[in-house]
Amino acid sequence: MSEPPSSRLPELNQPVENGTPKRPLPGVALLPSIATLGNLICGVMAIVCSLLAMRAAYFADAPPRAHPNLEAWFPTYIAVGAYLVVLAMLFDALDGRLARMARHTTEFGVQLDSLADVVTFGTAPAILFLTMLLPLAVPPEGEPLVGKTEWRVGLLGALVYVSCAAIRLARYNAENVKEEAAQMRFCGLPVPGAAAGMVALLVLHEDLVFEQAALWGVDWASLVRQATGVIAFLLGLLMISRLDYVHVFNRYMRREQPLWHLVTFVVMIGIGLFSPQILLVVLAAVYVFSGVVVWLGHALAARSLRPTVIRSLLDDQRLPRN
């Protein structure tokens, strides 16, 4: 029996265009969306800091830093932009938590979060890095401190980093696994984790330049700068890999933890007060390498178990051994 025509008519209060009912706008969870937009605003302001850093490099009358009283923490605009990306990571962790607390996780929120992430954790770190390189490669006066090869390697690393960040976020949205087990780990290095590796090196470089550190006769700032382009390329590959990375917030903040975790957190706060640059580098390196270490551990375990599995199969099938 066919459906009566009246049941197919649009509702009285539903807008109609060209005879077709319009789809209502999706509902929005206010607090998670505000946190996501905070993430996006931090990324945009980090890009603005890149513009200010470029202006300071090429115009003598432009101030080289945000505020003279804060130069120990923010020696340059690049350092300010890097710390803004770190602040955006807090907003990124907060929006997911707020959505779960409100029990209002929507596809709209997922898409908005990915759009914010590609700006803040994909584009902003790459632009900050290129902003650091360009005035050294094409200085307003004097000889360049960055050669053509280093500039090309840095540009290639930044482009690969941004491209892989976009691919990583698109893959995450396409797969969009919502099981509880999937919320405890990431497939591939998450984009905020890769951004942490980039901005940690940028903060360290700016601090080394500000302090003019040359321990043991080595120009550490130059070494960090040269390594950042190669590391950006490697971070891009890790983002599109299938290595497993733990979801730090969901794994360690949503349940009870051993007491030594609290002690470790207090120690990290102490290191951060003494040298936030070193703390950022250590935390970023531990997280980036954790996926590689776990993969190697699984590979070695599988290799050691392979003879045992083959032997058990031979015993079960009672095949003759040579």
pLDDT per position as a tens digit, 43-86: 999 999 999 999 998 988 888 777 777 777 788 999 999 999 99
The neighbour count for residue 5, using CB atoms within 10 Å, is 7
Angle between helices 124-137 and 30-58 (to 10 degrees): 0
Task: Let me know if residue 5 belongs to a domain.
Answer: no
Task: Let me know if residue 289 belongs to a domain.
Answer: no
Q: Is the dihedral of CA 185, 34, 130, 221 positive or negative?
A: negative
Please state, rounded to an integer, the average pLDDT across all residues of the chain: 81
Instruction: State the Cα–Cα distance between residues 107 and 112, nearest whole angstrom.
Output: 9
Residues 6+ apart with CB under 8 A from 49: 77, 78, 80, 81, 84, 128
Average pLDDT over residues 311-322: 55
Among 59-63, 131-135, 137-141, 146-150, which is the least confidently predicted range? 59-63
Contact present, 168 and 227 (Cβ < 8 Å): no
The neighbour count for residue 43, using CB atoms within 10 Å, is 28
When divided into structural domains, the chain yields a total of 1
- Per-residue pLDDT reduced to its tens digit, 251-280: 666 566 677 667 777 777 777 777 888 889
Please give the C-alpha separations between residue 38 and each of 74, 96, 127, in angstroms, as whole numbers.
21, 13, 19
| Residue-number span of the structural domain to which 94 is assigned | 30-257
- Chain centroid to Cα 236, Å, comes to 10
Q: What is the CATH number of the domain that holds 95?
A: 1.20.120.1760
Task: Let me know if residue 81 belongs to a domain.
Answer: yes
> Quick one: which of 47, 177, 181 has its CA closest to 124?
47
Task: Let me know if residue 171 belongs to a domain.
Answer: yes
Instruction: State the Cα–Cα distance between residues 122 and 43, nearest whole angstrom.
Output: 9
For residue 220 the two structure tokens come to: 């550490």
Who has greater pLDDT, 119 or 217? 119
Instruction: State the Cα–Cα distance between residues 296 and 307, nearest whole angstrom.
Output: 18
- Per-residue pLDDT reduced to its tens digit, 275-311: 888 889 999 999 999 888 888 887 787 777 666 655 6
Task: Let me know if residue 13 belongs to a domain.
Answer: no
Average pLDDT over residues 194-216: 85
Return the pLDDT at 94: 86
Among 157-161, 206-210, 286-290, which is the least confidently predicted range? 206-210
Task: Let me know if residue 297 belongs to a domain.
Answer: no
> Quick one: which of 193, 296, 199 has its CA closest to 248?
193
Task: Let me know if residue 36 belongs to a domain.
Answer: yes
Task: Let me know if residue 113 belongs to a domain.
Answer: yes
Residue 212: pLDDT over 60: yes
Average pLDDT over residues 171-197: 79
Instruction: State the Cα–Cα distance between residues 107 and 79, nearest whole angstrom.
Output: 34
